[in-house]
């Protein structure tokens, strides 16, 4: 039993009201009826996850159109304008529509055009359907056999408890068995692999970034999937940043692309200059022939 106000497990019975069992939360001191209570959280890999309509990916929750630019896109426009002004007309690798506004994509520095939103939404949904059709054609036995050989060869450890990864740096593999897919990720931060995995489960991929390339080749982002889509987790703890980058790059390159959700090449964080790293990421887009 969890408190419907704060989600705490520390509750006790507190008599009855109109024939309904009453409960009192020992954390927030609020009372509630048990019959009307609907759990706000569930346990997944031994961590508490909030119930939402996005705990699993569906066609309805995949793409929510909006005219609002996300923080990263606003930053890109600002940086692009600064670089363009500094270069004073010199040739750059920055797309012109990032600094020459308004245009077909950007109405201004904070909004997409209505026309682009409609066009992008249709493209995203077509790409979603193509990816789902692609997944359905894969053979689960072949996928599982390949995965188990891969994790054994590369000495990964399976865990059913995400808390084991708290504060541990290294490489993790999220397995989405229903879709015969994996995502190979890394964490170099103090929060460790646990924090990084929880961020995948809690965030929604930005509307403007759902497509990574063309409709017929773009891979669905791991951030579009929900927590319950992850059914197995493997990990390898590594201490040194350089080791983590190199290992991730090799593993992403090695893993069968039909079974892999990574949308860019791994191992690029070692590039110290942010602008250079972003250009490398743009040039390392992983494509999948969907039709």
Picking from 164, 188, 178, the residue whose alpha carbon sits closest to that of residue 261 is: 178
Q: What is the distance between the alpha carbons of residues 266 and 254, in angstroms, rounded to a whole number?
A: 11
Q: How far apart are the first and last CA of the chain?
A: 48
Kindly give the confidence (pLDDT) of every residue in the chain, 291 residues in length, as a single tens digit, with 9 standing for 90 and above. Answer: 778 777 777 888 888 777 678 888 888 888 887 765 566 889 999 999 999 999 999 999 999 999 999 988 998 899 888 888 887 766 667 788 888 899 999 999 999 999 999 999 999 999 999 999 999 999 999 999 999 999 999 999 999 999 999 999 999 999 999 999 999 999 988 889 999 999 999 988 999 999 998 999 999 999 999 999 999 999 999 988 778 888 998 999 999 999 999 998 655 454 444 544 454 454 456 789 887
Q: What is the distance between the alpha carbons of residues 144 and 38, in angstroms, rounded to a whole number?
A: 36
Q: What pTM does this model have? A: 0.81
The 3-state secondary structure of the chain, one letter per residue: CCCCCCCCCCEEEEEEECCEEEEEECCCCCEEECCCCCCCEEEECCEEEECCCCCCCCHHHHCCCCCECCHHHHHHHHHHHHHHHHHCCCCCCCCHHHCCCCCCCECCCCEECHHHHHHHHHHHHHHHHHHHHHHHHCCHHHHHHHHHHHHHHCCCEEECCHHHHECCCEEEEEEEHHHCEEEEEEECCCCHHHHHHHHHHHCCCCHHHCCCCCCCCCCCCHHHCCHHHCCEEEEEECCCHHHHHHHHHHHHHHCCHHHECCCECCCCCCCCCHHHHHHHHHCCECCCCCC
- Domain range annotation of the chain: 11-39, 138-282
């Amino acid at each position: 039993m969890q408190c419907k106000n704060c989600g705490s497990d520390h509750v006790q019975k507190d008599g009855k009201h109109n024939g309904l069992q009453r409960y009192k939360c020992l954390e927030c001191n609020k009372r509630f009826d048990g019959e009307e209570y609907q759990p706000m959280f569930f346990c997944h890999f031994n961590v508490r996850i909030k119930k939402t309509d996005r705990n699993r990916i569906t066609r309805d929750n995949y793409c929510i159109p909006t005219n609002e630019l996300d923080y990263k896109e606003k930053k890109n426009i600002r940086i692009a304008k600064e670089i363009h002004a500094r270069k004073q007309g010199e040739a750059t690798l920055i797309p012109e529509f990032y600094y020459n506004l308004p245009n077909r994509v950007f109405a201004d520095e904070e909004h997409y055009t209505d026309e682009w939103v409609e066009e992008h939404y249709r493209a995203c949904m077509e790409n979603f359907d193509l990816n789902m059709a692609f997944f359905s054609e894969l053979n689960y036995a072949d996928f599982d056999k390949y995965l188990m050989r891969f994790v054994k060869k590369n000495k990964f450890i399976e865990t059913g408890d995400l808390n084991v990864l708290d504060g541990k740096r290294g490489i993790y593999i999220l397995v989405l068995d229903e879709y015969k897919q994996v995502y190979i990720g890394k964490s170099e931060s103090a929060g460790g692999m646990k924090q990084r995995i929880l961020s995948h489960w809690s965030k929604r991929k930005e509307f403007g970034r759902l497509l990574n390339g063309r409709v017929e080749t773009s891979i669905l982002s791991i951030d579009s999937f929900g927590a319950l889509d992850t059914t197995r987790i493997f990990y390898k703890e590594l201490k040194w940043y350089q080791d983590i980058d190199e290992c991730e790059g090799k593993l992403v390159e090695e893993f069968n692309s039909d079974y892999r959700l990574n949308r860019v090449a791994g191992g690029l964080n070692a590039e110290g200059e942010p602008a250079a790293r972003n250009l490398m990421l743009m040039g390392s887009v992983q494509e999948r022939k969907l039709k």
